Structure 1
Amino acid sequence: MNYTVSGNIIAHQQATFTSKQTNVSFGIKRDQNYLPNPAELLLGAFAACCLKNIERFSDTLKFNYEDARIEVLGERQERPTKLVAIQYTIHIKSEDASLNVKLLHKNLQKFGTIYNTLKETCNISGEIKLID
C-alpha cells in the first residue's frame, strides 16, 4: 500500500497539503497560532491512528463502545530538533463487559502504522482508561 499527498506554500503567507480531496492548512510562521504546526500534525496523525484502530478492533475483538477520545503530549528536544517522547491517554466510553482493555491496547501498539513508525524514533507511553 502506498500513500500520496501533495503540498504547496505561498511565500510568507500560507501552506497546505492535499490528501484525497481534502486540503489541510498548516502554520509556517510563529504568529500563526490558529493553525497546527508540522509537529502538531504529526501528533494528530498519531491520535488519528489510535482512534481509527479502536474502531477497527471493535469489530475484530467484538466489543461495543459509545465514544473514544485521546490526549497526546509530544516532548521536543531542541538540538537537534526532534520529538523524543510521546505520551497519550485514551478514554473509552463503553458498558460492554467483553471489552478487554489490555488486549485492545496491545493491538493498538502492535498494528498501528503511525504508532509503529514513531516508536522507532522516540519513546511512546500511554494508557487506556474506561469512562462512565
Structure 2
Amino acid sequence: MQDTPPKMRFRVESRRVNAHGSRSRCKNAEVALDTDLAGSPDAFNPAELLLAALSACMIKSIERVAPILKFQLSGVEVVVEGVRQDVPPRMESIRYEIIVDTDENDQRLSLLHDNVRKYGTVFNTVSPGTDLQGSLRRR
C-alpha cells in the first residue's frame, strides 16, 4: 500500500486599508488590491488577480516540467485576456498566449503546452467553469 503525500495547503490574509484599497499577505510577500468601487490604477482588481494567478500557474508549470522534458528555453511570456459577464457576474471567457523563447521544434512545443493544460492547479480550477482557450508558440 502506497502512502499518499500530504495535501498542499495555502493561506493568504487580506485586509481593507481604506475605501480605496486593500492588501493581501502571504509568506513574506504583500500585494496591493484594487477594492475601490471606482477602480484604482495602482493595484490589481479581483478579476486581474485571477488572470495573474492563471498566468503565474502557467509559468510555474513550465518551470516544473521543462527539466523533466529536457526542454530548453531562455524565457517565457504569458498574455491573458478575460471577458466578464454581468449577470451572473463571472469570467465568461479567458484567452491566453504563451510565448516561449526556444529553438525546440513544434512537436516539443505542443508537448509543453499539453503539460501546462494538464498539470496546472489554477488552470484546472478555472477551466471547468470558463471558456478557457489559448496557444503556446515560439518567439
State the TM bucket, normalised to the shorter chain. over 0.9
Structure-2 change in CA distance of 1:10 and 1:87 (3 Å): same
Q: Which runs of 5+ in 1 are unaligned?
A: none
Give the drift of 1:98: 9.2
Name the counterpart of 1:103: 111
Map 1:18-57 onto structure 2 (within 5 A).
18-29=25-36, 30-57=38-65
Q: Deviations over 1:38-67 (max 9, x none)?
A: 100010000000011111111111111011
Q: Deviations over 1:86-131 (max 9, x none)?
A: 1000110112459701111111111000000001210110001111
Structure-2 change in CA distance of 1:105 and 1:12 (3 Å): same
Q: What amino acid sits opposite 2:14 in the alignment? A: G
2:111 partner SS: helix
TM-score calculated relative to the size of structure 1: 0.93
Name the counterpart of 1:6: 13
Q: Indicate the RMSD between aligned Cα atoms, in angstroms.
A: 1.5
Name the counterpart of 1:17: 24
1:85 corresponds, among 70, 78, 93, to 93
2:129 partner SS: coil
Identity value in percent: 30
Distance 1:34 1:92 in 2: 28
2:133 corresponds, among 113, 125, 128, to 125
Report how many residues are paired.
Answer: 131
TM-score calculated relative to the size of structure 2: 0.88
Q: Which runs of 5+ in 2 are unaligned?
A: 1-7
Alpha-carbon contact 1:63-1:98 (below 8 Å) kept: no
Report which stretch shifted further, 97-106 or 14-23. Answer: 97-106
Distance 2:39 2:120 in 1: 33
Give the drift of 1:11: 3.5
